[in-house]
Amino acid sequence: MPKPALKTETKQAKKTETAVSIANEAAGADMVSIISLLEEHRASSELAQREHRASISADFKAAFAVLEAKLNQTQTTVAEYGEQIDSLETNANLQDQRLRILEEKCAVLANSNAKLAAKTADLEGRSRRNNIRIIGLPESIEGPRPTTFFSELLVELLGNETLQSPPELDRAHRAPAARPQPGARPRPVILRLHRYQVKDLIVREARKRRSPLPPAPLFPARLQITLGSGAKKRFPSPLEAVAFAAGYEREPAN
């Protein structure tokens, strides 16, 4: 009886070994499959990462290319602006130099102009030292030869005791102004005597005779009256005075 039991155990052990072997084979197949799947996943992941890196790298390269182009353009613009600023600074320095030169010349010219103005004023004053003015003579009384007329008039006014002969006149003319209307005040007469001594003699003699001269109205004569109110009224002609007097009503006395 014992021998059959051994055979049974042997068969059972073989079955167990077979089952274990099958299980091991199945487990090995599963592991191979898992490893294969993992390798495929890793390969696909690496491929995706490489593609992603390549895409990112391409994007960065494109962005850097754009930035580099813009940077180059900016550098070019800055360089152009720098050249323009240098040119402006150079021109400003030149303008400053020219301005300083002009200021120096202007100062010299101003000094020269002041000296010339002083000389002109002195010469003008010296040129007028021999001039005398006569007022109140009617227009055109001198005729076509004013120097001769006024020279003889001075002898007639001052007498032969003062002037033994008609004085020599360089010029004789009316004051430079518009010819007055008829009846208006005539222009003064300006005489330039050739010798200053004669001019000084005439002026001194005229001053001596000024006080004894009786007062006389200036040309043209005007009538002046003072009204009862204190207001003054002037009449250039007798007819206007008569007309005013005829129509004037005297204010009643208080």
**What per-residue confidence (pLDDT) applies to 60?**
86
CA distance 50 to 165: 133
Among 103, 127, 151, the domain boundary falls at 127
Verify that 185 and 142 share a domain, yes or no: yes
Least confident of 22-31, 47-56, 72-81, 184-193: 22-31
Verify that 143 and 159 share a domain, yes or no: yes
pTM: 0.43
73-109 pLDDT, tens digit each? 999 999 999 999 999 999 999 999 999 999 999 999 9
Verify that 165 and 98 share a domain, yes or no: no
The mean pLDDT of 156-171, rounded to a whole number, is 87
**What per-residue confidence (pLDDT) applies to 135?**
86
Alpha helices (runs of H) in 128-210, residue ranges in sequence order:
146-158, 196-208
Q: Per-residue pLDDT for 224 more than 90? A: no
The mean pLDDT of 134-146, rounded to a whole number, is 87
Verify that 143 and 191 share a domain, yes or no: yes
Verify that 136 and 118 share a domain, yes or no: no
| Domain ranges, residue 167 | 131-208
**What per-residue confidence (pLDDT) applies to 42?**
82
Of 80 and 230, the structure prediction assigns the larger pLDDT to 80
**What per-residue confidence (pLDDT) applies to 254?**
45
Q: Is residue 4 part of a domain?
A: no
**What per-residue confidence (pLDDT) applies to 253?**
46
Q: Which two tokens stand for residue 76?
A: 């070019």
**Residue 153 sits in a domain of what CATH number?**
3.30.70.1820
Q: Which of 25-29, 117-121, 181-185, 228-232 has the highest mean pLDDT?
A: 117-121
Report how many domains make up the chain: 2
Q: What is the mean pLDDT of the chain?
A: 82
Residues 166 and 152: beta-carbon distance below 8 Å = yes
CA distance 147 to 164: 17
Verify that 121 and 151 share a domain, yes or no: no
Of 218 and 119, the structure prediction assigns the larger pLDDT to 119
Please choose, from the candidates 215, 214, 105, 207, the residue with its C-alpha nearest in 3D space to the C-alpha of residue 158: 207
The position carrying tokens 């005040």 is 185
Residues 222 and 229: beta-carbon distance below 8 Å = no
Verify that 138 and 194 share a domain, yes or no: yes
**What per-residue confidence (pLDDT) applies to 95?**
93
Verify that 86 and 104 share a domain, yes or no: yes
Verify that 118 and 145 share a domain, yes or no: no
Q: Which of 16-30, 85-99, 164-178 has the highest mean pLDDT?
A: 85-99
Half-sphere exposure of 14 (CA within 13 A, CB side): 6
Verify that 171 and 199 share a domain, yes or no: yes
178-207 pLDDT, tens digit each? 888 887 889 999 999 998 898 998 888 888
Q: Is residue 163 part of a domain?
A: yes
